[in-house]
Amino acid sequence: MHIKESIIINDKKLTIETGKIAKQADGSVTIKYGDSLLLCTVVASKKPKENATFLPLTVDYVEKDYAAGKIPGNFFRREGRLGEKEILASRLIDRPIRPLFPEGWSFNTQVITTVLSHDKTNPTPPLAQIGASVALCISDIPWNGPIAGIQIARIDGEFIQFPTLQELEESDLDLNIVASDNAIVMVEGELDNLDEDILLDALDFGFQKVQPILEMQKKLADTVGKKKRPAPVVEKDEELAKLVSEAVREPLEAALNISDKLERYAAIDRVKDLAMENLGPDYEERKNEVMEAMGELKSQIVRNWILNDNHRIDNRERDEIRPITCEIDILPRAHGSALFTRGETQAIVTTTLGFGMDNQKLDLITGEEFRKFMLHYDFPPYSVGEAKFLRGPSRREIGHGHLAHRAVGKILPSEDDFPSVIRVVSEITESNGSSSMATICGASLSLMACGVPTKAPVAGIAMGLIKEDDNVAILSDILGDEDHMGDMDFKVAGTEEGITAIQMDIKIEGLDQETMKKALYQAREGRLHILGIMKETIEEPREELPDHAPSVKSITIKPSKIGAIIGAGGKTIKGIQEETGAKIDIEDSGKVLIAADTNEGALRARQMIKNIVMEPEIDKYYEGYVKKILENFGAIVQFLPNTDGLIHISEIEDRHIDNITDVVNINDRVIIKVVDIDKRGRIRLSRKQAFDASEDEITRAV
């Protein structure tokens, strides 16, 4: 059945249509807002995946260049593997829909959202979230939706739903919120050092605004939704669970009480072997079931400890942060380096300064973008005691790096104040939870050690939640096991003043406003604690860059002066570079970037460029040299590059002279004052009016 539903948002139609395109998919819709249109499909295999131990779900968000009237800029002139933006958008869809599949769903399931038209005005990831939800709702796949995504901005204190790309540029807040009809299920975004109450207001605003979109989805599902396949029936073998509990509960509790991660894991492995020994050979063929029952028991023990005994695996209080140590300057030749360790999570974070074309060029569907700040997160297998092949960055690594990029980007200086290209790299050397937050802390330390004039130190903390009915425990600085067995992963980064980035994933149906508020304020206390420890190592950015870092200066000139700097055949700019050892990059806008191995060389090159583009000013004093003598009339003096003027014979001395050469000759250095510049640009100079000029008043540019 072909059907179309629309609602009005910001005076524009949000339209969802189904039954027209991709009808062989299990669920297929198009979603249109403005002139942006996406095709969203979902397909699940007809046979279950054998021996599946996890949900076999794949989510891809794909942008086609033709959607914005572009031809791909790569060699092959066709779209290749997903880019960073597409991977991040794929994660924004995957994370909220994944917990809503029924337990035991083992059919290979693929969600594809394809941008077919992009108006370069309206962001498309929240449309993809909505479209994926609708496709699942109308399909025959059992799924506990709907959900809806929404983008929130704030300008002049007013919240805006579904802001344009331009409005996001002007906003002090950029949040992607996903909600069901009774709770928020996911949040990701960045804030410009805003406090917790503003964030809570934004979340409430977003929750209210998605409700009409959810109602539209329900209406579509009621009208054209297919009959759902039977949800898998996961039968718990209570007898086996009881046998496993009787066989290993005590040794498992003892193993879980070991604080050291690797020792704990080794002890748990020994308990697994013990379980099989105690159950006997009759259970060898049911080993997977035994291990699953033991996993359930492990989760029950830990959750019960936290909720009822106020006891965590490593014996911390619920709001207690693991021991933290900070070091800087651990790598002699890195421009900036730091080692941040929190419990069993550790990151080496480096800062490297570059120049000009060191920036990252992104060929996006919305146009080219040049990134002068990059943050890359690496998670090598040794960090968790594993041996695996090294591949390119995983989706998880890209997502964690992006979260840290958002958090740290808010405290960087403006490009005018610090024109260097900045690359931060985080190498996770140990991991037991919250490595992305360790990256943020280490990045802040590394940047300050390098001398980058950051606005304030920034730190991050990961919060967790255990919830059984009305019994709720909020945990600060969660371990990996607490994340795995918990109901929420809530990461908050910020300065002493406010929040800069947030990421929240809810594994249960949702989170009420009061619990979220409590978690946010508990996170703030933890963040301030971490910042206090970081300040003991370095409190503010160093005043000077390291000797081996390039010094980068900038100057903005009139575009019409670019040719003067370059000179005929590049002679002028080559001369400056040879004399100073600097590299010079000139943008069409007139912005000039200068980089040199020494601060002195960069400053010298900048001054030479200033001299070239300098324009004469009336009543200013300059030093120049005599280029030409005009007998019985005056002298031509060059006092700026490519700029000269006339001294009349009456302005050479404060007395009458008969011959000009009695006072000045060709190539003589003279101090002059600019007396007048006429409409034709002719410059009248005076030597005698400059006799009283002080050294500080004289400009020497030639």
Kindly indicate whether the domain formed by 621-700 is annotated with CATH number 3.20.20.70: no
- Name the token pair of 123: 């962001």
Is the model's pLDDT at 192 over the cut of 90? yes
Rounded CA separation 583/581 (Å) = 7
Name which residue leads in pLDDT, 470 or 299.
299
Digit-coded pLDDT (tens) for 36-89: 999 999 999 999 988 777 899 999 999 999 999 988 887 788 888 899 999 999
Give the residue carrying structure tokens 């040049």: 370
DSSP-based three-state secondary structure for 30? strand
CATH number of 551-613: 3.30.1370.10
Rounded CA separation 90/607 (Å) = 49
Which stretches within 280-409 are classed as H helix?
Answer: 287-309, 395-409
pLDDT, mean of residues 305-309: 92
If you write DSSP's letter for every residue of 503-557 in order, what string do you get?
EEEESSS-B-HHHHHHHHHHHHHHHHHHHHHHHHH-SS--SS--TTSPEEEEEE-
Res 516: pLDDT:
87
Rounded CA separation 480/430 (Å) = 12
- Residue 477 burial (CB count, 10 A): 25
Give the residue carrying structure tokens 């990256």: 439
Is the model's pLDDT at 361 over the cut of 90? no
Reported as a pLDDT band with limits 50, 70 and 90, residue 547 is: confident
Q: Do domains 551-613 and 621-700 have the same CATH topology?
A: no
- Name residues whose C-beta falls within 8 Å of residue 227's C-beta, 6 or more positions apart in sequence: 140
Contact 635, 673 (CB under 8 A): no
pLDDT, mean of residues 244-255: 91
Name which residue leads in pLDDT, 484 or 135.
135
Q: Report which of 627, 639, 629 is spatially closest to residue 699, judged by C-alpha positions.
A: 639
Buried b / exposed e over 223-250, threshold 16 CB at 10 Å, is ebbeeebeeeeeeeeeebbebbbebbee
- Name residues whose C-beta falls within 8 Å of residue 487's C-beta, 6 or more positions apart in sequence: 464, 465, 466, 467, 506, 507, 508
Is the model's pLDDT at 548 over the cut of 90? no
Is the model's pLDDT at 362 over the cut of 90? no
Kindly indicate whether the domain formed by 238-309 is annotated with CATH number 1.10.600.10: no
Buried b / exposed e over 185-209, threshold 16 CB at 10 Å, is bbbbbbbebbebebbeebbebbbeb
Dihedral angle over CA of 602, 603, 604, 610, nearest 10: 110
Is the model's pLDDT at 510 over the cut of 70? no
- Name the token pair of 593: 């970037």
Rounded CA separation 35/639 (Å) = 58
DSSP annotation of 50 reads: T
Q: What Å distances lie between residue 455 and 156, 411, 437, 451, 540, CA to CA?
A: 22, 5, 19, 12, 9
CA atoms within a 13 Å half-sphere pointing along the CA-CB vector of 17? 12
pLDDT, mean of residues 246-263: 91
Which one-letter amino acid corresponds to residue 304? N
Report the DSSP beta bridge partners of residue 503: 188, 491
Which stretches within 280-410 are classed as H helix?
Answer: 287-309, 395-409
Is the model's pLDDT at 696 over the cut of 70? yes
Q: Which helix (H) or strand (E) segment is 448 a member of?
A: helix 435-450
Residue 587: exposure state from Cβ atoms within 10 A (0-12, 13-18, ≥19): middle
DSSP-based three-state secondary structure for 658? coil
pLDDT, mean of residues 607-630: 90
Is the model's pLDDT at 689 over the cut of 80? yes
pLDDT, mean of residues 161-166: 96
Kindly indicate whether the domain formed by 3-224 is annotated with CATH number 3.30.930.10: no
φ/ψ (deg, to 5) at 174 = -140, 100
pLDDT, mean of residues 515-532: 95
- Name residues whose C-beta falls within 8 Å of residue 582's C-beta, 6 or more positions apart in sequence: 576, 594, 595, 596, 601, 602, 604, 605
DSSP annotation of 633 reads: T
Is the model's pLDDT at 353 over the cut of 90? yes
146: preceding bond cis by omega (within 30 degrees): yes
Contact 404, 377 (CB under 8 A): yes
Q: Which helix (H) or strand (E) segment is 427 a member of?
A: strand 421-430
Q: Where are the domains of the chain?
A: 3-224, 238-309, 324-537, 551-613, 621-700
Res 233: pLDDT:
83
pTM of this structure: 0.88
CATH homologous superfamily of domain 324-537?
GHMP Kinase, N-terminal domain (3.30.230.70)
